[in-house]
């Protein structure tokens, strides 16, 4: 089923990109709560970018699949201070940075022999108190700080909007991130806008997403 799901997602991405006249985004396969064997199965289809939300589980998969040394591992979950060393040592990207303390720890704990950690800043969208993310002023402070760090390269933004009742509401949420991204893209050299998941990726593509985070559509429902 994974191979068929993958082809279906690729087709849907291409159709949406053609519909809205935009480039096809990068596909990040969200493999959290799925076994390493499922990652290997999708890898065999040509997928290379995989996302994990739990540090320990992610590191175990990185180590189990280290023979597939061209996998690009993204950490996409909330970053806890006591997990930054583990994340900085094993992942290629971190998509969920929202605090100065975390950014500084990731920079400090990135091993010297590895290339800079590719970082996305998580932007708060909507008014849900439970949602993570930094407000616009904090984002600007983090962008300034990130430009001065040796072991960090800030590539852009990530967002997780609140649940929406319609595609027009989805679009309104994504346009908030798109507007901020375009406003500051050139100044800070950003080239990645990570938004869109299994239930809303068509509207994310319409709003210029450059990276989709797809789990359920690829691997099926999580237990």
pLDDT tens-digit series, residues 51-71 = 999 999 999 999 999 999 999
Domains of the chain, earliest start first: 2-218 (3.20.20.10)
Supply the pTM of this predicted model.
Answer: 0.96
pLDDT tens-digit series, residues 79-95 = 999 999 999 999 999 99
Extract the tokens encoding 175: 């346009």
Residue 151 has pLDDT above 60, yes or no: yes
Please report the DSSP string for 88-144 in residue order: HHH-SEEEEE--HHHHHHHHHHS-TTSPPEEEEEEEP-SS-TTS--B-HHHHHHHHH
> Mean pLDDT across the stretch 155-161?
96
Residue 222 has pLDDT above 80, yes or no: no
pLDDT tens-digit series, residues 33-47 = 999 999 999 999 999
């Amino acid at each position: 089923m994974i191979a068929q799901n993958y082809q279906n997602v690729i087709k849907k991405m291409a159709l949406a990109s053609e519909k809205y006249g935009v480039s096809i985004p990068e596909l990040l396969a969200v493999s959290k709560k799925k076994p390493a064997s499922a990652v290997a199965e999708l890898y065999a289809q040509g997928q290379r970018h995989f996302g994990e939300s739990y540090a320990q589980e992610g590191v175990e998969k990185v180590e189990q699949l280290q023979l597939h040394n061209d996998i690009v591992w993204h950490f996409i979950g909330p970053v806890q201070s006591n997990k930054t060393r583990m994340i900085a040592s094993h992942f290629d990207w971190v998509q969920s940075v929202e605090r100065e303390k975390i950014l500084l720890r990731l920079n400090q704990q990135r091993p010297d022999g590895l290339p800079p950690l590719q970082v996305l800043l998580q932007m708060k969208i909507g008014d849900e108190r439970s949602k993570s993310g930094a407000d616009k002023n904090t984002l600007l402070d983090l962008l300034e700080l990130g430009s001065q760090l040796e072991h960090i390269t800030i590539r852009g933004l990530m967002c997780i909007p609140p649940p929406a009742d319609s595609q027009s509401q989805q679009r309104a949420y994504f346009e908030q991130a798109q507007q901020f991204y375009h406003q500051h893209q050139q100044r800070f050299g950003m080239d990645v806008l990570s938004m869109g998941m299994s239930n809303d990726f068509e509207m994310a593509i319409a709003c210029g997403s450059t990276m989709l985070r797809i789990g359920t559509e690829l691997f099926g429902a999580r237990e």
